[in-house]
């Protein structure tokens, strides 16, 4: 896959928000002929373009687990998302900065994303890991919902007004994240798209706590934006890095809409380097895009994305954090999400699960021992072109790690290709036909 790079010369043209853009393409029309929030678009970054809707595979520690970056490019991934918290702990953000940034460090030549560490506020704090249906087990008797911790988990993060204290899952050391620290780490990591530091709540939290956390996230968002502008002006030799605000508010329509309005209205002053109109050396600018995150139930996914699409600026991209199931992808796109990420394709691959048009299947099953067909007939991925179910079944039984690689390549290709088809279907006005065909087959009862 060829990635287009920006012609801007960082040595002669200091980075400004003008180096990042989003252009809307085709718009989705519903079966009733009425416009829907879904659309196609083009995100332009200093390291290439992303045609949206797009699935962004997760490279948590500067690698998609078990898969080479070159293989990710070959299977059609347009960008990768890494985890700022994990890279801060190991090998260190300063090391990646010295290496030339995340992409250079991992030999990935396309656009990159980094999250803010905000997810760890929830996962390390409460032990609940799922973003979709993030309800988890009930809080133990006598324990308030706002203090809920998953059974068998230890609270490793504590939130205060200024930031979060983390206890490292690697060695138990204490670390401090604030909005300024998070943005500083992400600037060192050098991703094209970063996310503001936020507090991610769970569905256990009371309405009162959701309001409190949302207001804290709003204050943190402005601090992130101000620090982002300061560092952009300070690191003039580096390409521009876009900053996305993160929308929280759980299941509550008024909180989600308020968060969208608050973040959409935020501005700060960026050094413009003479690139603006007239003689102004400053550019008033807000967030470059928005992430839709937080606690939500699967059944309400489309509704919540739709609320946000109605409130957020039409000319800014919207990233939905943490989805990859086919029904969720169609729902997200239909309601206005442009990009999304998820670890699921590689996570389930490590259990031997593989995706097909007829659903998800588990390769360790005995019936695959003498099955010499590919993981999916007609799939154009490297794995399906060269290996059989029987061979990969053998690798799983023999506990050979390359099994994870082969299944992961297929699962990532399956997901990337599906979103590519969704994008084309919006252009062709065949979205709802594709949705009925894909979901009808994928979720059909299995014999």
Return the active site residues.
Answer: 115, 341
- The separation between CA 235 and the C-alpha centre of its own chain, rounded to angstroms, equals 25
Question: 402-428 and 389-397 helices cross at what angle (nearest 10)?
Answer: 140
Nearest to 63 by CA among 45, 48, 83: 83
Give the contacts of 9 (CB within 8 A, at least 6 positions apart): none
Q: Which residues pair with 353 in a beta bridge?
A: 362
- The separation between CA 7 and the C-alpha centre of its own chain, rounded to angstroms, equals 27
d(CA 150, CA 204): 11
């Amino acid at each position: 896959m060829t990635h287009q790079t920006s012609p801007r010369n960082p040595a002669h043209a200091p980075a400004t928000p003008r180096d990042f853009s989003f252009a809307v393409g085709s718009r989705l029309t519903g079966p009733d002929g009425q416009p829907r929030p879904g659309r196609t678009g083009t995100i332009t970054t200093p390291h290439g373009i992303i045609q949206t809707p797009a699935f962004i595979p997760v490279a948590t520690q500067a690698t998609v687990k078990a898969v080479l970056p070159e293989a990710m490019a070959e299977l059609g991934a347009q960008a990768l998302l890494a985890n700022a918290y994990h890279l801060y702990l190991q090998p260190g953000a300063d090391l990646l900065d010295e290496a030339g940034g995340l992409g250079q460090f991992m030999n990935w030549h396309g656009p990159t994303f980094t999250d803010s560490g905000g997810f760890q506020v929830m996962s390390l704090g409460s032990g609940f890991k799922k973003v979709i249906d993030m309800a988890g087990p009930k809080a133990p008797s006598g324990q308030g919902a706002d203090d809920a911790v998953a059974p068998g988990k230890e609270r490793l993060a504590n939130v205060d007004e200024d930031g979060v204290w983390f206890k490292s899952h690697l060695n138990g050391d204490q670390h401090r994240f604030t909005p300024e620290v998070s943005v500083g780490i992400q600037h060192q990591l050098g991703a094209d798209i970063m996310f503001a530091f936020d507090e991610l709540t769970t569905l256990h939290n009371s309405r009162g706590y959701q309001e409190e956390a949302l207001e804290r996230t709003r204050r943190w968002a402005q601090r992130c934006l101000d620090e982002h502008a300061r560092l952009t002006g300070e690191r003039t030799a580096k390409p521009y890095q876009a900053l996305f605000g993160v929308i929280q508010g759980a299941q509550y329509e008024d909180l989600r809409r308020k968060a969208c309005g608050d973040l959409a209205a935020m501005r700060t002053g960026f050094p413009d380097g003479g690139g603006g109109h007239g003689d102004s050396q400053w550019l008033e600018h807000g967030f470059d895009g928005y992430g839709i995150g937080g606690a939500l139930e699967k059944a309400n996914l489309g509704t919540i994305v739709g609320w946000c699409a109605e409130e957020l600026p039409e000319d800014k991209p919207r990233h939905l954090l943490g989805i990859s199931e086919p029904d969720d992808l169609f729902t997200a796109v239909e309601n206005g999400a442009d990009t999304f990420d998820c670890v699921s394709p590689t996570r389930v691959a490590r259990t031997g699960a593989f995706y097909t048009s007829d659903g998800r299947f588990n390769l360790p099953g005995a019936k695959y021992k003498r099955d010499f067909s590919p993981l999916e007939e007609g799939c154009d991925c490297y794995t399906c072109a060269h290996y059989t179910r029987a061979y990969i079944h053998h690798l799983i039984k023999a506990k050979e790690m390359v099994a994870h690689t082969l299944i992961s390549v297929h699962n990532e290709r399956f997901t990337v290709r599906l979103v590519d088809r969704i994008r084309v279907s919006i252009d062709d006005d065949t979205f709802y036909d594709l949705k009925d065909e894909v979901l009808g087959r994928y979720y059909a009862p299995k014999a």
